[in-house]
Amino acid sequence: MNREIQQLVTQYREACHQPLCAYVYDLDRLAQEARNMVKLLPKDTNLFYAIKANPDERILGALLPYVSGFEVASIGELKKVRKVSADVPVLFGGPSKKEYELRGALRAGVTYIHIESTLELQRLLLIANELQTSAQVLLRINLNYDDLPTTNVTMAGEPSPFGMEETEIERALKLVAHQNLVQIYGFHFHSISNNLREDLHVAMIDHYVDKVEEWQSTYGLDVKVLNCGGGFGVSYDENPSFDWEKFIAALKSSGVLDRVKGKQLLFEPGRRIVANCGYYVTEVNDLKQSQQEHFAILRGGTHHQRLPASWGHNHPFKIIPIEEWPYPFSRPTVTEERVNIVGELCSPKDRLHSQAEVSQLRVGDLVVFLQSGAYSWTISHHQFLGHDQPAFLYYRDKQFQSISRSDH
């Protein structure tokens, strides 16, 4: 969070007349991040944004000029994209597409549908014939791959509800034979989430290409598109995050790009694009000691920012000191102590950071949870206990563009 945003946050707090709780999205930084990533892309390679990481319409609008399109996993996400743009390319994924979603995808003119099973393909064939509408599909494959990078979330290389087995490819090809409406353009792989190792990611893509070459030879396929998914990681501790520039350089030197000449190579990151552009800011509402441990209780918590509880990590933060203290009684303060930073819910699991070392923390100070742009607000249980929602502040062109609670 730059100093200018920090000043605007403290000014907003002064106008609140209640403990501050807000998401802050730096749209200028987001646009710059997307520009930098796209600038490094090799020829015939496209960057899509997976909106599951954060589907906020203002974020989609800020990314629209830079990314090749958006990846969605439901008809609800598709509607969000189409509110931002009627014709931007869209990839439609998800393991449980309903008939109405497939119809909606065809009517909305999505670019590729990721097919996760032969049953889903059969449904799409019926619907395309009913609507007399063409569909371009990529088969999502769950590879038997023993050397996947180790991450918190794995979607392939093991029993999984995602994608189809390699042995199902032949059946899928037979299903689309002798008709022209539904065409298989290539394959989709999304095996892991939040990988931090660039070298292992390149090795994984190299394995994808090995398999595609094998299937081209076995089935006589003309593969036009290879979607290598996302999974580019962001570190929430002392480990380095995934280095996009290093990854692209390694990809170029690996020989993979020479092997996919004539094909479109797609990537669909979410977290890697937006995580560092968002902040969750909450005010310390109480400080107490219990059995030799200190607890800072926030106006906020995991009902707004569920990521640390979901992933089981201590979320990185910084403190914005607030000097104002409007009460006639003494201000609770801890100095040079370890503090558990917890939320306002009636649950011991409402914890964002355990045993954090702080030089000073006072009631009324602000705690800024960094890297809160992805998988934070939208995966949280907002209605639990009925607390007020946070404000949403958007920083663009050196000012807060809009402030809203109602449209989230």
pLDDT digits (tens, 9 = 90+) for 238-297: 999 999 999 999 999 999 999 999 999 999 999 999 999 999 999 999 999 999 999 999
Residues 111 and 182 in one domain: yes
Residues 294 and 378 in one domain: yes
Length of the chain: 408
Gyration radius (Cα) of the chain, Å = 23
Helices 198-219 and 244-253 sit at what angle, rounded to 10 degrees?
Answer: 40
Domain contains 224? yes
Domain contains 124? yes
Residues 256 and 115 in one domain: yes
Weakest mean pLDDT among 5-9, 149-153, 346-350: 149-153
Residues 366 and 398 in one domain: yes
For residue 91, the tally of other CB atoms under 10 A from its CB is 24
Residues 359 and 257 in one domain: no
CATH number at residue 318: 2.40.37.10
Please report where in the chains the tokens 């590879």 appear, as a residue.
Answer: 143
- Is the pLDDT at 234 greater than 70? The verdict is yes
Number of domains in the chain: 2
Domain contains 362? yes
Domain C-terminal end among 269, 303, 318: 269
DSSP letter for 72, please. E
Domain contains 298? yes
Residues 179 and 248 in one domain: yes
265 and 46 in contact (C-beta within 8 Å)? yes
Residues 261 and 282 in one domain: no
Task: Report pLDDT for 193.
Answer: 80
DSSP letter for 241, please. P
Residues 262 and 306 in one domain: no
Side-chain-side CA neighbours of 366 within 13 Å: the count stands at 28
Residues 97 and 130 in one domain: yes
Domain contains 128? yes
Range of the domain at 302: 3-25+276-404
- Is the pLDDT at 408 greater than 60? The verdict is no
Domain contains 248? yes
Domain C-terminal end among 246, 269, 292: 269
Domain contains 34? no
CATH number at residue 229: 3.20.20.10
Residues 331 and 192 in one domain: no
Q: Is the pTM of this model over 0.85?
A: yes
Residues 142 and 254 in one domain: yes
Q: Which residues does 364 contact at the CB level (< 8 Å), separation at least 6?
A: 283, 284, 322, 324, 325, 331
Mean pLDDT of 28-41: 97
Distance (Å, whole) CA 176 – CA 128: 12
- What's the pLDDT tens digit per position in 109-153? 999 999 999 999 999 999 999 999 999 999 999 987 766 565 555
Active-site residues: which are they? 346
Domain C-terminal end among 205, 239, 269: 269
Residues 252 and 396 in one domain: no
- What's the pLDDT tens digit per position in 65-104? 999 999 999 999 999 999 999 999 999 999 999 999 999 9
Domain contains 387? yes
- What's the pLDDT tens digit per position in 164-210? 999 999 999 999 999 999 999 999 998 778 899 999 999 999 999 99
Please report where in the chains the tokens 């439609």 appear, as a residue.
Answer: 92
